[in-house]
Amino acid sequence: MNHGILFGESIKTEKIKRRTYGGDHNSHFSSRGFLLPLLLVIISLLFLGKLFYLQVIQGNYYQKLSDTNRIRTQTIHAPRGIIFDRNGVPLTLNVPGFRLISRDEKGAIKTESIDKEEAFHLISKGAKNVEVASLRQYPFKDVLSHVVGYIGQISEAELKQPGFKGYPANEWIGKSGIEDEYESLLRGQDGRQLFEVNSLGKLVRALGQTDPIPGQDIKLTIDSRLQQKVYEAAKDVKKGVVIVSKPNGEILAMLSNPSYDANLFTMGKTYTSPAGAYTSTQDILLDSENYPLLNRAIGGTYPPGSTFKIVTAAAGLEGVIDEKYSIVDTGVLKVGEFSYGNWYYLENGKTESGNLNVSRALARSNDIFFYKLAEKLGVSRLAGMAQKFGVGRELGIDLGGEVPGLLPTKEWKKDFLKEDWYLGDTYHYGIGQGYLLTTPLQVAMWAATIANGGILPTPHFLENPKSEIRNPKLVGEKTISLIRQGMVESCSTGGVAWPLFNFRVKKQELKNKIDLDGKNFFDAPASGSAKMVGVSVACKTGTAQHGGEETSPHAWITLFAPAYKPEIVVTVLVESGGQGSSVAGPIAKKVLEGYFEK
């Protein structure tokens, strides 16, 4: 190669060889070109697979999720059925209100009633947990609380029960009384409202609505006017019971003291009760001395005292004694080292004059007669008759909380107390003391048995029960006649129930036209310018010992009137009240006056 003057004429040149690494150059670029499309294909397949999964496999799920976010459902609460008394007076009301829905520390749903001011304040701030509700109101407040009961939010334990299947966690249900007993009838079927919202949660349009179906109204045998009279008659009783029924078991009135205002459970924190001693649900729930939630009429058990002599007399007259059987009152009956005295002798040091037959023994409530009759019967026969009269078993009233009481037998004492049965136990049994425990409802129903001619009725509140139990006749007409005669004499001069001697009402105040037959209704001496009508009453008092000697006895009376054509049965118990005639008698008299007046 010639490069000019500066260089030699010829310079040796060599061909430069380029070294490559990693193989052939064309092969290298060919691999890289293949890898990129492959990655693109794989990524595309993944996207397509995910898209297929979301659109096809999980399509329904995400469609529902989208609809949930876009479409809101609001519950329209169905109003509960109204509870009426026998005359059509409403015992419950449904009033519009608001409930606040929240969650407690465990995450469980919690609802509480709030007033409209608080509700409007929360709604104005955009709160989504305030709902319109139909609140339950009880116009009779504490007068009927143990009968009607109250409603409250369903608990987690109740949600698991078969009877509440399908109930939402914020549902309010019957918690006690008739509200609880007839929950399935009173509860309605909630409605639903659908509406569409935008991404900000604001209403776009309404999509549709299912109207709620109100619960079924029910009618009770309760007479609210008479219930009010009962409440007033027993207003000074701290602990006690009054039961008024028809001879067939229809309950006209039932009061258990102390009572409470059921509105405290349903109307919210701002509700102030004008009735009773309790101002909040906390006061009610924490009163462990008086137990205001206990319906003593069906859930309290007590020795029945001399009211049980009705049953002892029935057991004796059904095959062991007759009207000719009599005893002489000795004042005290001695068995070995033990003495069993008659109340009249123990209080006044006197004995009853002459021979006492069964009717006279009932009239005077003579303990000696019934000690000896119980001995003649024996514990097995006496317990057998008591069981027929409903002692020791539930009577089946349509109200929760009924207890059976205690029907003592030789076997029971041997098994439970590990002791033999003694004659003294039988004596005590015969006069309604000892181990015997009954509910006031049981005492009321054995008085009703005598009133209706010998059939133990099934007590009930629903006016027309679908399955009324037909009980057999327990005793004969002659037994009924002799027991009734003794009960009539007990409420007459010479008996023991002195507040009911010569019971009468003003003629112009009688609620119905009556027939002055001279037996059930009869002319009575005028009171000033007012004409009076006498009403025959059949009754049995009881003074039941319990606790120690320093404890006052329970005061009892059970009665029916008119005596020979009964319309009403009244039973009164005053816990630790004293003498049955002196304490329970005047209350029963006021109830009778309340029944027979207009």
Tell whether 143 is covered by a domain: yes
Give backbone dihedrals phi and psi of 443, rounded to 5 degrees, phi first.
Answer: -60, -45
What SS3 class is residue 208?
strand
On whether both 349 and 448 belong to a single domain, the answer is yes
The pair of structure tokens assigned to 375 is: 């001995």
**Which residues face 570 on adjacent strands?**
244, 559
On whether both 455 and 316 belong to a single domain, the answer is yes
What SS3 class is residue 544?
strand
Strand pairing of 240-245 and 251-257?
A: antiparallel
On whether both 575 and 436 belong to a single domain, the answer is yes
On whether both 310 and 213 belong to a single domain, the answer is no
Q: Which of 219, 240, 270 is the last residue of a domain?
A: 219
Tell whether 6 is covered by a domain: no
Q: How far apart are CA 262 and CA 269, in angstroms?
A: 13
Q: Which residues have C-beta within 8 Å of that of residue 440, sequence separation ≥ 6? A: 241, 243, 296, 297, 298, 300, 302, 571, 573
Residue range(s) defining the domain that contains residue 162? 73-219
Residue 471 CB neighbours (<10 A): 17
The pLDDT, as a whole number, for residue 61 is 62
Domain CATH number, residue 133: 3.90.1310.10
Tell whether 4 is covered by a domain: no
Strand pairing of 327-328 and 355-356?
A: antiparallel
The pLDDT, as a whole number, for residue 33 is 66
The pLDDT, as a whole number, for residue 58 is 67
On whether both 378 and 522 belong to a single domain, the answer is yes
Q: How far apart are CA 522 and CA 332, in angstroms?
A: 40
The pair of structure tokens assigned to 32 is: 């890289």
The pLDDT, as a whole number, for residue 59 is 65
Tell whether 328 is covered by a domain: yes
- What is the domain count for the chain? 2
On whether both 435 and 563 belong to a single domain, the answer is yes
End-to-end alpha carbon distance in the chain: 149
Separation in Å, CA 350 to CA 90, 153, 198, 342, 588: 54, 61, 93, 9, 28
The answer to whether 569 touches 247, Cβ cutoff 8 Å, is yes
Tell whether 142 is covered by a domain: yes
Q: Which residues have C-beta within 8 Å of that of residue 415, sequence separation ≥ 6? A: none
On whether both 421 and 305 belong to a single domain, the answer is yes
Q: Running DSSP on this structure, what letter comes out for residue 390? A: T
Residues 455-460: contacts with CB within 8 Å, 24+ apart? Answer: 456/388, 456/389, 456/390, 456/395, 457/245, 457/247, 457/248, 457/249, 458/249, 458/395, 458/396, 458/397, 459/245, 459/249, 459/251, 459/395, 459/396, 459/397, 460/221, 460/249, 460/250, 460/251, 460/397, 460/398
Q: What single letter denotes the amino acid at residue 62?
A: Y
pLDDT digit string (tens) for the chain, length 598 residues: 444 444 444 444 444 444 444 455 555 556 666 777 777 878 888 878 777 766 777 666 656 555 555 666 767 788 899 999 999 999 999 998 888 888 877 778 888 888 878 888 887 777 777 877 888 999 999 999 999 999 999 998 999 999 898 888 888 999 999 999 999 999 988 887 776 766 655 666 767 778 889 999 999 999 999 999 999 999 999 999 999 999 999 999 999 999 999 999 998 887 888 877 799 999 999 999 999 999 999 999 999 999 999 999 999 999 899 999 999 999 999 988 899 999 999 999 999 989 999 999 999 999 999 999 999 999 999 999 999 999 999 999 999 999 999 999 999 999 999 999 999 999 999 999 999 999 999 999 999 999 999 999 999 999 876 655 578 899 999 999 999 999 999 999 999 999 999 999 988 877 777 889 999 999 999 888 889 999 999 999 999 999 888 899 999 999 999 999 999 999 999 999 999 999 999 999 999 999 998 6
Tell whether 449 is covered by a domain: yes
Tell whether 38 is covered by a domain: no
Tell whether 270 is covered by a domain: no
Q: Which of 199, 219, 239 is the last residue of a domain?
A: 219
Strand extents, DSSP E, 403-495: none
The pair of structure tokens assigned to 485 is: 């005669």
Cα-Cα-Cα-Cα dihedral sign, residues 265, 270, 274, 276:
positive
The pLDDT, as a whole number, for residue 7 is 41
Q: Which of 197, 219, 241 is the last residue of a domain?
A: 219
The pLDDT, as a whole number, for residue 72 is 67
Strand extents, DSSP E, 2-90: 71-76, 83-84
Q: How far apart are CA 486 and CA 141, in angstroms?
A: 40
On whether both 215 and 327 belong to a single domain, the answer is no
Q: How far apart are CA 85 and CA 225, in angstroms?
A: 9
Strand pairing of 93-103 and 130-137?
A: antiparallel
Q: Which residues have C-beta within 8 Å of that of residue 215, sequence separation ≥ 6? A: 78, 79, 80, 81, 185, 186, 187, 188
The length of the chain, given as a count of residues: 598
